[in-house]
Structures are given as C-alpha cells and as structure tokens.
Structure 1
Amino acid sequence: MSKKVSLWRIFLTMFKVGALTFGGGYAMVPLFRAEYVQKYGWITDEDMLNMIALSQSIPGAIAVNCSVLVGYRRRKIKGALAAVAGSVLPSLITLTVVTYLYQAVRDNAYVAGALRGVRAAVVALLVSAFLGFMKPFYKDALAVAAFFAAFLLSFILDINSIYLIIGGIVFGIALGFLRIKKSDNARDGGTAP
C-alpha cells in the first residue's frame, strides 16, 4: 500500500464504482471492496469496515464519505477531491439524463423490470460483501454477539441506527478498556493495583 497512486487512477476508480453501482449507499459496498481491497490493495478489509462505520456516523452519503476516506488515505487532500469528483460525477450525469427522459420511460414495463432485476442483484451483492466483512469477526465472540444484538435491535425492534452507532461506540470503548486492563494485569503478574 506504500506505492503512490495517481490522482487520475483514484478518479477513474471512483468513477467506475459510481457508474457501475445502482442504489447508492450500501449497494456500493461490494464494488468498493472489490476495487479498493481486492484489486488495488489500497485498504484492508478491516480498514473498509472502519471507513463504513465512520461514513455511516457522519453526515453525508456513505458512498461519498467512503470515497473521501480512501482518496485521502492514498493522496491526502488532492486524493480526497479526486475521489469525490469521481464518485459523484456518474450520478450527476445519470440523474441529469434520467430527469430529462423520465416522463417518457416512467411507465415502461421494460424499465420497471430492469430495475427489479437490479434490486435483486444488489441484495445478492450485499449479502456476499457482508459475509466477506464478517470473516475477521468469527474469532471474536464478543464482536459476533454485538453484531447479533445490533441486528436484532435494528431489525426486530426498529431502533434508530444513530442509537446503535452510539451504543457500538460505547461498547467498543468499554471493551477496549477491559482488554487493556486485562493485558496490564497479565503483564504485572495478575496483581490488581
């Protein structure tokens, strides 16, 4: 990951992700992972998870936020700007064209069918990305338990995601504190202060 990446490469990669993904947001995650983690090695799976978590917890579109973080990681401010331009431009072009043509195609059965097919494919890609992201957590029972707790709170009880994010932050800090304390106790021979 130490090789300097050109601003043009950052722009083109983000443009490709933006142009090939329908649905925005989490629908872009599988392609983000394929490009940034697997193809170019710009970030790791763990970095990707952290960026998604951070992108979700700050204002703005998750796809743009992730692009900014990846671009910044590779080339600082210029990389972030190239990434934003690349990730936003396909949507801007598409939205401009679709807005112009909307009245002519809004009731077209072929267009409606194509969109249903795209939605089904997006769900499959999201499940695939999710399973890939979960691999690092399989060995951490507390992380798996936290995942299932957050899922149940969100899916069954319909708890607002901001509360889940805040809860995750508090849980993560507490867990980190306990692990540090446990490590310190082990280093000191198991004696408590």
Structure 2
Amino acid sequence: MKSNENHYVQLTASMLRTGVLGYGGGPSVIPLIRHDAVTRYNWLNDDEFGETLAIANALPGPIATKMAAYLGYKLKGVRGAIVSVLAHILPSCIAMIALLSAVNYLSGSKVVAGMIAGVSPVIAVLLGLMAYEFAQKTYKGLGIWLGLGLFLLALLLLEVLHVHPAIVIVLFLGYGTLHFSIIAKLNSKRNSKGGTP
C-alpha cells in the first residue's frame, strides 16, 4: 500500500517539477523528465526512455504530456496517467491564468525578452546533450556508417525536399522495424545452427 502511495507522490512531485521548470516548451522538458524517470526514480532505463521518446515523437500532440501520460500509465495504469498529466499541466495552467491580465505588458517588456534570450543557450545545450546520447545509441545499434547515412537521408528529406516530418518519422519507424526484425531472424538462425551438434 505504501509503495502504491509512493508512486503517486513521486509521479506528482516529478510532473509538477517538470511543469514548473520546463521553461520553453516540450523539447526543453524532455531532459528533465529523463532525469527523473531514469536517474532519480529508476522507472525506466536509458533504452526504454529512448524508445518511448521515439514513439512519442511519432504521435501527434505535445511531447511532454505524452511522456507524462506514458510514465503515469506504466506505473499506475489509467489513473496514474491522469494524475501525471494533470500534475504536469497544472503549473502552466495556473501561470497562464495568473498572467493573462498582464499579457500586453509582458509581450513588450525588455525584462521578459532578456529572460528568453538568457534561457535559449541553456535549452540549446540540453537538446545538444540529448542529441549526443541518441547518436551514441544509433552508433551502438546501426554502426557509424549506416547511422551517418540515415542521418544525411533524414536531413535531405526534411531540409532539401521538405517532406513532412510525420512522413519521415513513419518511414524511419518502418525501416527500423524491418532492420531489427531481419537482424533478429539472422541471430536466431545462427544460434540454432550453433546449437545443433
């Protein structure tokens, strides 16, 4: 019973924290969610988090709320998902309601513009670190040349040919499924050959 309550307390504390500190939108929140889910509470390991993030990126809607919903569902089912999402969006909702009357003033404020300019490099570093970790996983899973080739292909599709990101994600998910299913079959064949006398 205590562990059940602890999970709710941990979920609520974590999602409130990411909701308050996640200044700048979804991508800036992901490293904070990762720290809580992987390092602080050990809800997921690095590989599970990477896979969950990849799937969440492929689905429509804000990524941070999808990650919050998944973590809540994994720990406590539907009720956990509801608690997790509500705790994550609550700080933003309160802040929006509280600051709504001052929107006109804040939009032209030099102080707010300075705050945004000051936070931007931090977000860039956090995203860079996350990209580096994904590159390491790609290197382990696909090797340097195939990983680099797929990176260049994604760059070509997105930036040169202007293919919609959702289409590119679906294509790469399909390729990943095919690639690793073929590898799994080859490994099982090798194991079965090695196991026969």
What is the distance in 2 between the residues matched to 1:107 and 1:95?
A: 17
Structure 1 length-normalised TM: 0.87
What is the distance in 1 between the residues matched to 2:43 and 2:110?
A: 41
CA pair 41-155 structure 1, distance change in 2 beyond 3 A: farther
Between 79-88 and 169-178, the greater mean CA deviation after superposition: 169-178
Q: Secondary structure at the residue paired with 1:139?
A: helix
Q: CA RMSD in A?
A: 2.1
| Residue 105 (structure 1) shift | 2.1
Pair 1:77-2:78 in alignment? yes
For each residue in 1:86-144, what CA deviation from the matched residue of structure 2 results, as whole angstroms up to 9, or x when unmatched?
11101111211232211122211111111111122111111122223433332231455
**Contact preservation (8 Å) 1:18, 1:88:** yes
Sequence identity percentage:
25
Unaligned runs of 5+ in 2: none
Q: What does residue range 3-14 of structure 1 map to in structure 2 within 5 Å?
A: 4=4, 5-14=6-15
1:131 alignment partner in structure 2: 132
Unaligned runs of 5+ in 1: none
CA pair 174-6 structure 1, distance change in 2 beyond 3 A: closer
Q: How many residue pairs align between the two structures?
A: 188
2:40 alignment partner in structure 1: 39
| Residue 159 (structure 1) shift | 2.5
Structure 2 length-normalised TM: 0.85
Pair 1:122-2:159 in alignment? no
Per chain length, whose mean CA-contact separation is higher, i.e. which structure has more relative contact order (CA < 8 Å, sep 6+)?
A: 1
1:169 alignment partner in structure 2: 173
Match of 2:193 among 179, 183, 189: 189
| Residue 30 (structure 1) shift | 1.0
1:178 alignment partner in structure 2: 182
CA pair 188-34 structure 1, distance change in 2 beyond 3 A: closer
